[in-house]
Chains A and B, each alone.
Chain A
């Protein structure tokens, strides 16, 4: 069928290194000795722990409950004993601790009682709630809660949902293998999303360097007729970025300031569709995912891995080479170096790459920008990275924002092509962090100021009320004259005392004594 393909500007074509990890089918990773399940694996609020140390949990049992709407539940990936609910190293570039449930599996792998979701009988709201409680989040890398993406905008009719099978990051093949082997589930999951969003079309975008996946998906999509289209798009990084894929398939450009449903599209990863299908069909919550293990390893392969598997045990499956000098989570373009091997596989871990100098030679020292403009040509968002860099470098975040810092998707194309080898992405992330921090500070200052004002008002009111009460009390009680004059005299004395003290304080304030005294440093 002929279809007009749009395109996006910029982009790069790095070597893909994908073939090595597609030779073997998806393997089932063995049960690890411990499972460390962080309660915050998704965008939004951290899940609230629902188990305690010593509890026995079943596989698929909820161990963390969603906190708010933009949040997601967390489930036990195996049956066993909860050893602790404590801070453990997060699978996060910082390596800082995050509250996690540590489970010692008992080897029985006993499932909790599961019920398929008969969503046809449920209201859409209820269905979305169930998805939230099943811990279904986007598996493309951002881990945004899926249920929150499943409501259409009120004003705009949904035109299309885009199923993202592009997988443009080099090395990564988890989506490719999933599509080859489990296309049926993905397409059924997409059909489920279609029920909720009611779009005209379901567009499945796959990069044209995955012919097997395209064939499998086309076969599976036949069943749904012409509403489902599998579209091969030219392989070019970052074609798998949600905004780039939407642009390539529908021609719509979604700015950072708008949500895609407002423009009639929504985008889901193939893995997300598959896990949603597993949930509605078998009632299984999200407890495992496909993770590519590749790079400097003997046995590059995709593994169906339980969430919470420590990286130490996971990477051992691939027998990393002796010259491995680190592991990356995510692809080489947008991933990060795993801070420590005790950090666990989480819902957003799509790929683990054993790094070695031969694969990723360390960059030479940063040179000054020569304004060659390569970065601007490569930027898929048509930004001017060299300008952003200029302002980010001198920490002038306001000016950087004028050059649309917020639109940057941190895809790394600019840094990939930069002849001066400037770590542009790091500069942009730094600048974005700075903007965030300043916003937080501003909010905090604002709330502090309003509390100060309220406090002052409250104190003034209390004073006024007290004075009023005193006056009223003195009049109401029928005191005899002598008592009255005595009280009056006492009040007068007190007032004088207060005045002298106040005068003294005022003098102190003028000379600054009071603040000197009050300062601990």
Chain B
């Protein structure tokens, strides 16, 4: 009896000690998963998900928040998250994201810098009492600069297709239902 219990206990203690050592030795600071989730988010920083910024949403997702809350990511983005986390893919029918960028009406801008302070991605340049402008290529289209503007001179414009971002289209003809 004792000859069985003793080695079992010893073995359990040894394994437990090893696990304990390993958890100290190979400790991971922070969760790398959060970084991966953050990488899968579009980084618009718009807060439309209900969390302040993409990092916060990534943390929330890790703690169990839904993955289909990000409108700029759209269905494709939610699917990427589902793949990454091994969760169920989002229900189809999410709106396709439409890329947009803020444009400042230069005639109405008074140079109050409120939009500059609101922009989470430093995409607006200008100084106090000087004309502000949005650097189009840096704007993520988060719309956070729109409400603070006292002159209501910021508009969101859809990013149109141009010869540089033009893409070949999905072949559309095929066999369609004949009624």
User: Is A192 close to B, CB under 8 A?
Assistant: no
Provide the residues of chain A in CB contact with B150, threshold 8 Å. Answer: none
A448/B140 in contact, CB under 8 A: yes
A433/B167 in contact, CB under 8 A: yes
Provide the residues of chain B in CB contact with A98, threshold 8 Å. Answer: 163
User: Is A325 close to B, CB under 8 A?
Assistant: no
B50/A449 in contact, CB under 8 A: no
Chain B residues 105-139 with CB under 8 Å of chain A are: 120-123, 137-138
Q: How far is the CA of A290 from the CA of B105 in the complex (A)?
A: 48
B47/A449 in contact, CB under 8 A: no
Residue of B nearest to A442 (CB): B39
Q: How far is the CA of A276 from the CA of B77 in the complex (A)?
A: 49
A366/B171 in contact, CB under 8 A: yes
Q: How far is the CA of A451 from the CA of B170 in the complex (A)?
A: 34
Q: How far is the CA of A430 from the CA of B166 in the complex (A)?
A: 11
User: Is A455 close to B, CB under 8 A?
Assistant: yes
Contact with B along A94-111 (1 / 0, CB 8 A): 101110000000000000
Chain A residues 273-321 with CB under 8 Å of chain B are: none
Chain A residues 83-127 with CB under 8 Å of chain B are: 90, 92-94, 96-98
Of A365, A423, A449, which is in contact with the most chain B CB atoms at under 10 Å from its CB? A449
Provide the residues of chain B in CB contact with A365, threshold 8 Å. Answer: 173-175
A451/B138 in contact, CB under 8 A: yes
B122/A455 in contact, CB under 8 A: yes
User: Is B103 close to A, CB under 8 A?
Assistant: no
Residue of A nearest to B49 (CB): A515
Contact with B along A431-444 (1 / 0, CB 8 A): 01110110011001
Taking the closest CB of chain A, its distance from the CB of B30, in whole angstroms, is 14
Provide the residues of chain A in CB contact with B173, threshold 8 Å. Answer: 365-366
B147/A518 in contact, CB under 8 A: yes
Provide the residues of chain B in CB contact with A358, threshold 8 Å. Answer: none
Contact with A along B143-161 (1 / 0, CB 8 A): 1101100000000000001
Q: How many residues of B are counted as interface, with CB atoms below 8 angstroms from the partner's CB atoms?
A: 38
Q: How far is the CA of A519 from the CA of B140 in the complex (A)?
A: 15
User: Is A509 close to B, CB under 8 A?
Assistant: yes
Q: A366-B174, A452-B45 are in contact. Are A430 and B140 (CB under 8 A)?
A: no
B175/A92 in contact, CB under 8 A: no
Of the candidates A90, A96, A429, A448, which one forms a contact with B121 in the assembled complex, judged by CB atoms under 8 Å apart? A448
Q: A96-B162, A366-B171, A430-B170 are in contact. Are A448 and B43 (CB under 8 A)?
A: yes
User: Is B9 close to A, CB under 8 A?
Assistant: no
A515/B45 in contact, CB under 8 A: no
Contact residues on A (Cβ < 8 Å of other chain), bracket:
35 or more
B122/A449 in contact, CB under 8 A: no
Q: How far is the CA of A40 from the CA of B166 in the complex (A)?
A: 15
B168/A433 in contact, CB under 8 A: yes
Of the candidates B50, B167, B174, which one forms a contact with A515 in the assembled complex, judged by CB atoms under 8 Å apart? B50
Q: A96-B163, A98-B163 are in contact. Are A367 and B175 (CB under 8 A)?
A: yes
Q: A96-B162, A448-B121, A451-B138 are in contact. Are A518 and B144 (CB under 8 A)?
A: yes
Taking the closest CB of chain B, its distance from the CB of A162, in whole angstroms, is 29
Provide the residues of chain A in CB contact with B43, threshold 8 Å. Answer: 444-446, 448-449, 452
User: Is A454 close to B, CB under 8 A?
Assistant: yes
Chain B residues 1-50 with CB under 8 Å of chain A are: 38-39, 41-45, 47-48, 50
Chain B residues 68-118 with CB under 8 Å of chain A are: none
Q: How far is the CA of A395 from the CA of B79 in the complex (A)?
A: 12
B166/A94 in contact, CB under 8 A: yes
User: Is A512 close to B, CB under 8 A?
Assistant: yes
Q: How far is the CA of A402 from the CA of B47 in the complex (A)?
A: 35
A426/B171 in contact, CB under 8 A: yes
Contact with B along A411-429 (1 / 0, CB 8 A): 0000000000001001101
Provide the residues of chain B in CB contact with A436, threshold 8 Å. Answer: 167
Provide the residues of chain A in CB contact with B44, threshold 8 Å. Answer: 448
Q: A430-B167, A430-B170, A455-B120 are in contact. Are A449 and B48 (CB under 8 A)?
A: no
Taking the closest CB of chain A, its distance from the CB of B72, in whole angstroms, is 10
Taking the closest CB of chain A, its distance from the CB of B90, in whole angstroms, is 15
User: Is B165 close to A, CB under 8 A?
Assistant: yes
B120/A452 in contact, CB under 8 A: yes
Q: How far is the CA of A350 from the CA of B43 in the complex (A)?
A: 43
User: Is A478 close to B, CB under 8 A?
Assistant: no
Provide the residues of chain A in CB contact with B140, threshold 8 Å. Answer: 444, 448
User: Is A361 close to B, CB under 8 A?
Assistant: no
Provide the residues of chain A in CB contact with B45, threshold 8 Å. Answer: 448, 452
Taking the closest CB of chain B, its distance from the CB of A419, in whole angstroms, is 15
Q: How far is the CA of A448 from the CA of B123 in the complex (A)?
A: 9
Provide the residues of chain B in CB contact with A94, threshold 8 Å. Answer: 161, 163, 166
B38/A449 in contact, CB under 8 A: yes
Taking the closest CB of chain B, its distance from the CB of A501, in whole angstroms, is 16
Taking the closest CB of chain A, its distance from the CB of B13, in whole angstroms, is 45
Of A395, A429, A437, A519, which is in contact with the most chain B CB atoms at under 10 Å from its CB? A519
Q: How far is the CA of A40 from the CA of B54 in the complex (A)?
A: 37
Residue of B nearest to A427 (CB): B171
User: Is A225 close to B, CB under 8 A?
Assistant: no
Q: How far is the CA of A429 from the CA of B169 in the complex (A)?
A: 8
Residue of A nearest to B169 (CB): A430
Taking the closest CB of chain B, its distance from the CB of A39, in whole angstroms, is 11
Residue of B nearest to A92 (CB): B163
Q: A40-B163, A449-B43, A452-B53 are in contact. Are A520 and B175 (CB under 8 A)?
A: no
Q: How far is the CA of A460 from the CA of B89 in the complex (A)?
A: 38
Q: How far is the CA of A445 from the CA of B144 in the complex (A)?
A: 17
Provide the residues of chain B in CB contact with A426, threshold 8 Å. Answer: 168-169, 171
Binding site for A on B (CB under 8 A): 38-39, 41-45, 47-48, 50, 52-55, 120-123, 137-138, 140, 143-144, 146-147, 161-163, 165-171, 173-175
Given contacts A440-B165, A455-B121, 5 further A-B contacts (CB under 8 A): A96-B166, A430-B169, A437-B167, A445-B39, A520-B147
The 10 A-B pairs with the shortest beta carbon distances in the complex, nearest first, are A433-B167, A445-B43, A429-B168, A448-B43, A426-B171, A96-B163, A94-B166, A433-B168, A423-B171, A448-B121
Q: Could you list 6 examples of A-B contacts with CB < 8 Å? A: A94-B163, A96-B162, A96-B166, A366-B171, A366-B175, A520-B143
